[in-house]
């Protein structure tokens, strides 16, 4: 889905922008290419539409946090879209997503200068701590050394910016390729390197993608206790997932 989702109770706008196909593009579970743009004009025009919905939301609702998704890394968005987005981010908490290779002290500084958020939360999809599962099975392309490097970057940002910048790791569960014991291990290990963990339940949106696994109640309870957020699959999602349609959803 592309568009804007307003969570009124959390004073948050989730902005799902159109991006280009992720440059890595090899993760075996990834469906984001389904909504990727084919041309710069397509991406910019669709994002203009989405940002006009965001403008409406900031006028109508109290929005303290803007969470940005673009089906890839924030750094792969056109500058045009980032500059237009910056009209809304100043003074608000902003979440962005990125693969590790785009993240350096300079790139973080540039995002802070452009978006001027009150707090920047950088979310990185690590998916699973176990390196064999992550790279040989899921084809994520993130060596353990990158996790160590991100941890050092997090510490440098902490020294310079204090609480203004934080790093969160995504982990994946509910997929046949990752046993529940490895999900628990991911939470335990990655908590040592990041400021928090967001657990995302896998959605199989194409027959060619790996199968889902029904997570146990124990695992879900564990994740709800240990993670800053748990993104659980809802029964109505398949109606609007990856249609390319721009939507404006106002939720409580
Ligand atoms: S890095 Fe993210 S967007 Fe890119 S292929 Fe992997 S899951 Fe998909």
The pLDDT value given to residue 238: 64
- Determine the 3-state secondary structure of 127 from DSSP: strand
Cα 124 to middle of ligand 1, angstroms: 10
pLDDT in tens, 154-199: 999 999 999 999 999 999 999 999 999 999 999 999 999 999 999 9
Determine if ligand 1 sits within 6 Å of the CB of residue 72.
yes
Instruction: State the average pLDDT over residues 58-78.
Output: 97
Cβ(171)–Cβ(202) below 8 Å: no
Q: Is the CB of 120 under 6 A from ligand 1?
A: no
Q: Give the pLDDT confidence score for residue 240 in this predicted structure.
A: 63
Strands, E assignment, 86-227: 93-97, 119-127, 165-173, 196-201
> 102 CB less than 6 Å from ligand 1?
no
Q: Where are the beta strands (DSSP E) in the chain?
A: 2-7, 12-16, 65-69, 93-97, 119-127, 165-173, 196-201, 229-231, 246-251
State the average pLDDT for the chain. Answer: 96
- Residue 235 has what pLDDT? 74
Q: Are 5 and 252 in contact (CB under 8 A)?
A: no
Residue 25 alpha carbon, nearest atom of ligand 1: 5
The Å distance, Cα 33 to ligand 1 centre, comes to 9
pTM: predicted TM-score of the whole model, two decimal places: 0.96
Ligand 1 centre to CA of 61 (Å) is 32
pLDDT above 90: percentage of residues in the chain: 94
In this structure, which residue's CA is closest to atom 2 in ligand 1?
A: 72
How far is it, in rounded angstroms, from Cα 154 to Cα 120?
12
**Contact 125 CB / ligand 1 (< 6 Å):** yes
Ligand 1 pocket check: which of 16, 35, 99 to mutate, most ligand atoms within 8 Å of Cβ? 99
Cβ of 103 closer than 6 Å to ligand 1, yes or no, is no
Of the candidates 112, 109, 137, 108, the one whose C-alpha atom is nearest the C-alpha of residue 124 is 108
As a whole number, mean pLDDT of residues 17-43 equals: 95
Cβ(24) – ligand 1 distance below 6 Å: yes
What does the pLDDT look like over 120-158, one tens digit per residue? Answer: 999 999 999 999 999 999 999 999 999 999 999 999 999
Atom of ligand 1 nearest to the CA of 29: 7
Q: Regarding the domain with residue range 2-251, which homologous superfamily does it belong to in the CATH classification?
A: Aldolase class I (3.20.20.70)
């Amino acid at each position: 889905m592309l568009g804007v989702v307003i969570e009124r109770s959390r004073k948050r706008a989730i902005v799902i922008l159109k991006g280009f196909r992720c440059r890595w593009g090899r993760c075996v579970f990834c469906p984001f290419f389904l909504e990727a743009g084919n041309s710069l004009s397509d991406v910019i025009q669709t994002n203009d539409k989405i940002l006009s919905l965001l403008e409406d939301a900031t006028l109508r609702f109290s929005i303290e946090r803007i969470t940005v998704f673009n089906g890839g890394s924030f750094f792969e968005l056109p500058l045009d879209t980032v500059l237009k987005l910056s009209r809304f981010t100043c003074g608000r908490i902003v979440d962005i997503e990125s693969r590790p290779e785009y993240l350096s002290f300079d790139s973080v500084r540039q995002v802070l200068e452009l978006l001027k958020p009150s707090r920047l939360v950088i979310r990185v999809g690590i998916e699973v701590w176990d390196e064999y599962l992550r790279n040989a099975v899921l084809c994520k392309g993130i060596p353990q050394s990158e996790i160590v490097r991100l941890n050092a970057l997090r510490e440098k940002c902490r020294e310079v910016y204090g609480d203004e910048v934080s790093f969160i790791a995504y982990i994946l569960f509910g997929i046949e390729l990752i046993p529940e014991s490895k999900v628990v291990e991911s939470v335990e290990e990655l908590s040592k390197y990041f400021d928090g963990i967001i657990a995302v339940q896998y959605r199989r949106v194409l027959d060619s993608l790996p199968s889902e696994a029904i997570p146990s109640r124990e695992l879900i309870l564990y994740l709800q206790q240990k993670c800053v957020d748990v993104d659980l699959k809802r029964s109505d999602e398949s109606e609007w997932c990856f249609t390319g349609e721009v939507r404006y959803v106002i939720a409580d």
